[in-house]
Amino acid sequence: MSATPPPAPRHIAFIMDGNGRWAKKRLLPRVAGHASGALQTRKLVKACAQRGIAYVTLYAFSTENWARPADEVSALMALFLKYLRNELPALIDNGVRLRVIGNTSAFSPVLQEAIAHAESQTAHGQRIQVNVCANYGGRDELIQAMQAWMADHPGAPAQALDAQSLSPYLWTGDIPEPDLLVRTGGECRLSNFLLWQSAYTELYFTPTLWPDFNDAALDEALAWYAQRERRFGKTSEQVAMATSSVK
Ligand code: IPE
Ligand code: IPE
Ligand code: MG
C-alpha cells in the first residue's frame, strides 16, 4: 500500500540558522548576515501567507544566544526593534497577527514596549499568525508551564499533572503544534526549540543558509512534507482508512 500524504501544513516553524556563515562567505561582519536574514524572513512570511499557511513560528533568539559577543547581541536587539517598528504598518495591512513568545522581561524597556505595541496593534489580524520566539527556550517554557500549573492547583498530587492538562500552560497553549519544522544552516538539532510541541512534527533539515532560503526553497520543503506519511504511532493501513473515511 502506498503512503497516505498529509493535508497541507497549517503551522510551519523555522529555525533560522546560518546568518553568520552567510556573512563569513562574503567576508562581511556577522551582523550583515543577520540583516540579510531579516530581509529574507519578511519575504518568507509573505510566501507562507500566499500558500495558505495559518501559523508561522520563527526562532529569532534563544536563551543560549545571550552567550554571544555583546556587540552581536546588541545588534540583534537593535534589528528586532527596527523591524517591529518599521514593519508594523505592513503587518497590519496584510492581516498578520504578531505574537512574541519567550521571556521578554529580559529585554530593554523600549523593546518590551515595542513588542507590546506591535502585539496589540496586530491582535485582530486574520490572515496569518506569526510567532517570533525571542529569548525563547523550550526548557524554560516547560518549567514555567509546570510552575504555573502548580500555582493554579495548590496541593494537587503530582499524578494529577498529565500532558493534556499541561499543554494550555505552555506559551504556545493556544497555537496548534507545528506540522513541519524547517532548520536551515545544515545542523540537525533542535537547539532548545519547541521541545514539547515538536513531538510529532515532521523535521526538515537543509544546508541552505537562512538568508538564501527563498520561495523556491520553501516550496521544496513543502514538497518534501507532502511526501511524508504522518502516522502518530498508528500503522499505514490505519492512516489510509482514516483518510478515506474523511473524504
Ligand atoms: C542564526 O544564525 C541567527 C541567530 C541565532 C540569532 P547564526 O548567527 O547562528 O548563524 P551561524 O550558525 O553562525 O552561521
Ligand atoms: C538556533 O541557532 C537559535 C536560533 C536560530 C535563534 P544557534 O546557531 O544558536 O544554534 P546552535 O548553537 O548551533 O545549536
Ligand atoms: Mg547558528
Cα 191 to ligand 2 centroid, rounded to whole Å = 6
Work out the average pLDDT over 182-205. Answer: 98
Within-domain flag for 3: no
Within-domain flag for 144: yes
Within-domain flag for 5: no
Within-domain flag for 210: yes
pLDDT value at residue 245: 82
Top mutation candidate among 58, 59, 62, 213 for ligand 2, by most atoms within 8 Å of CB: 62
CATH number at residue 38: 3.40.1180.10
What is the CB neighbour count within 10 angstroms for residue 166?
16
pLDDT value at residue 1: 43
Q: Find the helix or strand (DSSP H, E) in which 106 lies.
A: none
What is the CB neighbour count within 10 angstroms for residue 81?
17
Domain range holding 56? Answer: 11-246
Residue the block writes with cell 526553497:
217
Within-domain flag for 63: yes
Task: Look up the pTM and report it.
Answer: 0.96
Within-domain flag for 1: no
- The distance in angstroms from the start CA to the end CA of the chain is 18
Domain total in the chain: 1
Give the pLDDT band (50/70/90) at residue 2: low
Within-domain flag for 233: yes
Within-domain flag for 6: no
